């Protein structure tokens, strides 16, 4: 299985980068699911929509870059590398029953080069280098995608995409590289899908100066090329090549494949927590690796989720990173059947 999977994945993912296929790829389990967002809505509880957050447990409603260093303040991380106290978060997916109730779609780890990653909820994180890259600096953060967008034509499918996964087992890889013509901007709604893989690829070119920007995006730019290949040449406005951060989320929709449960009015059965579809998919990133460990990991071509002594990277067992949890600060029900989706008054309604 493992060899078959390797053979299936690597050539497809790195057809143009066979010589440099090393990358970090590791599991991050759920830290908390709540309505907070220190990047877009600092200081606010019950932000407009719900997120699932993974990573360092110093995650908080406010995380000012000048005063708050996750690498120093975190006591644990829900990600497999001990040195990674970064936070990664995205919207969560809901299934909408025809009776009007919602339930959060469970998340699982993904197959791929390692055959399987073990997650308790959460997502898989990639750092894909292309040539010499400059790791992010302390305080760095960025956003990919737009939480209010409803226009699929405004989303580049080569960066944020969804794929219908017809295998019931995440250990069986379906299809090739992410974000190609097998993927869609919208969330698939097909009873054949057992899982839906969501991919969020962040930009790889930094302006070299700003740790953040007012829209959390303009200090970054996408380089040439598409997909999960580490990114191509950078524009002169954003000349510094950084690692390509990619999130991979596996939504287990197996329990919701009976069309008789789907909304009778023809509306979509799966929506993100903004009550919007795939066009509004987005990911937030807040850097928090210890010291220069990420730079060393990239320079030494550390691979997958393996310990990497050359860079000082050590790993935790799943039981350890699964145990790193945080209590909700914005306390409300997010699991089980809900009469309505947890949404703030500012939220954009579909």
Ligand X SMILES: *[C@@H]1O[C@H](CO)[C@@H](O)[C@H](O)[C@H]1NC(C)=O
Q: Kindly state the tokens that stand for 243.
A: 């690692």
CB of 262 to ligand X, least distance (A): 12
Say how far apart CA 138 and CA 296 lie, in whole Å. Answer: 15
Strands (DSSP E) contained in the chain are 24-28, 30-34, 51-55, 87-91, 93-96, 102-104, 107-108, 123-128, 141-145, 160-165, 195-201, 205-206, 220-221, 240-241, 244-252, 270-272, 282-286
C-alpha closest to that of 83 among 292, 244, 243, 245: 292
Residues forming the site for ligand X (CB under 6 A) = 12, 58, 60, 62, 73, 97, 99-101, 106, 108, 170, 175-176, 180-182, 252, 254-255, 337
- In angstroms, give the least distance from the CB of 133 to ligand X: 27
Q: Which is nearer to ligand X, 133 or 195 (CB)?
A: 195
Is 343 within 8 Å of 271 (Cβ atoms)? no
Instruction: Tell the smallest beta-carbon distance from residue 108 to ligand X (Å).
Output: 4
Cβ proximity to ligand X: between 237 and 255 the closer is 255
Of 36 and 305, nearer to ligand X (C-beta) is 36
If the CB atoms of residues 121 and 243 are measured against ligand X, the closer one turns out to be 121
Q: What angle do CA 7, 13, 235 make, to 5 degrees?
A: 160
Nearer to ligand X, 108 or 205 (CB): 108
Give residues with Cβ within 8 angstroms of 324, minimum separation 6: 29, 31, 57, 76, 77, 78
User: What's the min distance (Å) between Cβ of 323 and ligand X?
Assistant: 16
Nearer to ligand X, 32 or 143 (CB): 32
Q: What whole-number distance in Å separates Cα of residue 200 and Cα of residue 143?
A: 10
DSSP for 307-321 reads -BGGGTB-B--HHHH
Q: Provide the minimum distance between the beta carbon of 169 and ligand X in the complex, in angstroms, as a whole number.
A: 6
Indicate left, alpha or beta for 344 from its phi (over 0: left) and psi (-120 to 50: alpha). Answer: beta
Instruction: Between 2 and 255, name the residue whose CB sits nearer to ligand X.
Output: 255
Alpha-carbon distance 49 to 179, whole Å? 25
CB of 175: closest distance to ligand X in angstroms? 4
Tell me which residue of 205, 162, 153 sits closest to 182, measured CA to CA. 162
Least spacing, CB of residue 243 vs ligand X, in Å: 25
| CA contacts within 13 A on the Cβ side of 220 | 25
**Which residue, 59 or 272, has its beta carbon nearer to ligand X?**
59
Least distance (Å) from ligand X to the CB of residue 297?
26
């Amino acid at each position: 299985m493992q060899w078959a999977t390797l053979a299936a994945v690597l050539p497809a993912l790195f057809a143009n980068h066979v010589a440099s296929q090393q990358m970090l790829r590791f599991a991050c389990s759920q830290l908390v699911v709540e309505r907070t967002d220190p990047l877009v809505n600092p200081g606010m509880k019950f932000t407009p929509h719900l997120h699932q957050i993974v990573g360092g447990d110093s995650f908080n409603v406010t995380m000012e870059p000048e005063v708050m260093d996750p690498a120093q303040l975190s006591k644990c991380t829900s990600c497999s590398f001990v040195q990674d106290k970064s936070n990664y978060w995205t919207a969560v997916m809901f299934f909408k029953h025809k009776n009007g109730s919602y339930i959060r779609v469970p998340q699982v780890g993904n197959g791929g080069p390692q055959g399987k990653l073990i997650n308790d909820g959460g997502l898989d994180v990639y750092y894909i280098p292309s040539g010499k890259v400059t790791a992010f600096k302390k305080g760095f953060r960025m956003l990919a995608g737009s939480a209010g967008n409803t226009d699929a034509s405004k989303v580049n499918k080569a960066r944020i995409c969804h794929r219908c996964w017809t295998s019931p087992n995440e250990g069986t890889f379906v299809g090739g590289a992410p974000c190609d013509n097998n993927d869609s901007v919208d969330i698939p709604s097909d009873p054949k899908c057992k899982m839906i893989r969501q991919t969020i690829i962040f930009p790889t070119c930094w302006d070299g100066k700003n740790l953040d920007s007012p829209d959390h995006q303009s200090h970054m730019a996408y380089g040439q090329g598409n997909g999960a290949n580490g990114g191509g040449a950078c524009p002169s406005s954003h000349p510094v090549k950084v690692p390509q951060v990619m999130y991979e989320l596996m939504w287990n929709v197996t329990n919701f494949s009976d069309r008789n449960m789907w909304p009778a009015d023809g509306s979509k059965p799966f929506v993100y927590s903004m009550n919007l579809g795939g066009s509004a998919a987005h990911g937030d990133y807040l850097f928090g690796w210890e010291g220069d460990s990420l730079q060393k990991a990239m320079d030494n071509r550390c691979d997958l989720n393996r310990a990497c002594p050359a860079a000082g990277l050590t790993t935790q067992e799943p039981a350890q990173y699964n145990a790193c949890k945080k209590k909700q600060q914005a306390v409300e029900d997010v699991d089980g059947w809900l009469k309505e989706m947890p949404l703030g008054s500012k939220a954009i309604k579909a």
